[in-house]
Amino acid sequence: MIKTDVVIIGAGPTGLFCAHQLGIIGLRCEIVDNLDKIGGQCIELYPDKPIYDIPAVPKCTGEELTNNLIEQIKPFDFNFHLSDRVQELKNENNKWLVKTLNGKEFETPNIVIAGGVGSFEPRKFPTKSAEKYDGKSVLYSIKDKNIFKDKSVVIFGGGDSALDWAIELSNSSKVTLVHRRDEFRGAPASVQKIKELSDNKTIDLITKYSIKDVKGNGSLDSVEIKSESGESKVIKADYVLGFFGLIMQLGPITEWGLNLDKKTIPVNTENFETNKKGIFAIGDICTYPGKLKLILSGFHEGALAARGCFKYARPDEKYRFEFTTASSTIKDRLGVKE
Report the residue from 37, 95, 99, 123 that binds other proteins according to the rule CB under 8 A. Answer: 123
Size of the site for other proteins (CB under 8 A): 23
Stretch 31-60 residues interacting with other proteins (CB under 8 A):
41, 45-46
Question: Of 104 and 291, which has the nearer Cβ to other proteins?
Answer: 291
**Position 244 contacts other proteins (CB under 8 A):** yes
Name which of 127 and 172 has its Cβ closer to other proteins: 127
Angle between helical axes of 160-169 and 188-199 (0-180°, round to 10)? 40
Report, in Å, the least distance between residue 299 CB and other proteins.
Answer: 18
For other proteins, the closer CB: 189 or 247? 247
Which of 104, 185, 291, 300 is in the footprint of other proteins by CB under 8 A? Answer: 185
Identity of the residue, 166 or 248, whose beta carbon is nearer to other proteins in the bound complex? 248
One-letter amino acid of 35: L
Distance in Å, CB of 289 to other proteins, minimum: 16
**Which range touches other proteins (CB under 8 A), out of 2-10, 134-142, 156-164, 313-321?**
156-164
| Residue 56: partners with Cβ closer than 8 Å, 6 or more residues away | none
Beta carbon nearer to other proteins, 87 or 227: 227
Distance CA 284, CA 262 (A): 12
For residue 172, how far is the Cα from the chain centroid? 32
Query: Backbone dihedral region of 230: left (phi > 0), alpha (psi from -120 to 50 degrees) or beta?
Result: left
Report whether 298 contacts 115 (CB < 8 A): no
Contact, 117 vs 202, CB < 8 A? no
Q: Is 261 an interacting residue with respect to other proteins (CB under 8 A)?
A: no
Q: Do 108 and 3 contact (CB within 8 A), yes or no?
A: yes
Of 99, 226, 293, 311, the residue at the interface with other proteins (CB under 8 A) is: 293
Q: Is 249 an interacting residue with respect to other proteins (CB under 8 A)?
A: yes
Beta bridge partners of 204: 176
CB closer to other proteins out of 109 and 157: 157
| Phi, psi of 44, deg, nearest 5 | -90, -40
Neighbours of 251 (CB within 10 A): 16
- For position 206 contacting other proteins by CB under 8 A, the verdict is no
- In order of 175, 236, 239, 298, the CA distances from 129 in angstroms are 21, 16, 14, 41
Is 245 among the residues that bind other proteins (CB under 8 A)?
yes
Nearest CB to other proteins, comparing residues 2 and 246: 246
Instruction: Work out which of 37, 95, 99, 180 binds other proteins, going by CB under 8 A.
Output: 180
Window 294-333: residues binding other proteins (CB under 8 A): none
The candidate with the shortest Cα–Cα distance to 37, out of 59, 8, 66, is 66
Instruction: Report yes or no: 190 and 278 within 8 Å, Cβ to Cβ.
Output: no
Angle at CA 171, nearest 5°, toward 165 and 172? 100
**Contact flag: residue 106 with other proteins (CB under 8 A):** no
Nearer to other proteins, 50 or 335 (CB): 50
Measured distance CA(112)–CA(241) in Å, rounded: 36
By the criterion CB under 8 A, which residues form the site for other proteins? 41, 45-46, 117, 123, 126, 157-159, 179-181, 183, 185, 210, 228, 244-245, 247-249, 263, 293
